[in-house]
A and B are shown apart, each in its own frame.
Chain A
């Protein structure tokens, strides 16, 4: 059972470039999340989804977009990368009725 899988693990982007962070889970969880973790800070919610076809903004959505065409996948898109988006990004999922959120291993993104 793979759980939550994120790719890539590391990426360096130039200012203005775009990229997609991939997240997939094989637990049939309907809730999925994207968080960012800045040094010395907790996890801030970027976007979340309560099921396929449904997404909504979290605390810090600016500069990001998401889609949820299937239950398994929840990609995060950066259209015009900025240095302020340098961070570690975590994808997580959980059952609607569950308390335990399962996290991926993270994607470390540097924008230069």
Chain B
């Protein structure tokens, strides 16, 4: 089946630093999604990317859909303590198989104030 490789597995940064994480796939996705999971909660959607090459921002978050459709990255600028959590990438295909949301293993982010 489809697999997503997400890196790094974990990051420890100081408040105010920028963060970058990425996700690669063995196969093509039509849509890339980035989720954040706070401790004890379910994942919440941060950003959705719909087409190859797309660059999308949501506040301090910026994500890009790779032109090969097999990768994506997420940047967080000027990190703050509430950015702590696990960030997941997810791939989705449209059409007949658009039910299937495949997740990466997550990046655990710790922000030291």
Contacts and interface: CB of A to CB of B under 8 A. Distances in A.
A44 B104 CA distance: 9
Contacts of A42: 4, 6, 88, 103-106
Interface in A6-40: 31, 33, 35, 40
Contact of B103 (A43, A96, A104): A43
Contact of A40 (B102, B104, B105): B105
A42 B104 CA distance: 6
Contacts, number: 53
B92 A99 contact: yes
Interface in B1-34: 1, 4, 6, 9, 31, 33
Contacts of B43: 43, 90, 103
Interface in A67-107: 90, 92, 96, 99-101, 103-106
Interface string A44-81: 11001010000000010000000000000000000000
Chain A interface extent, by class: 20 to 34
Contact of B1 (A31, A40, A59): A59
Interface of B: 1, 4, 6, 9, 31, 33, 40-45, 48, 50, 88, 92, 98-106
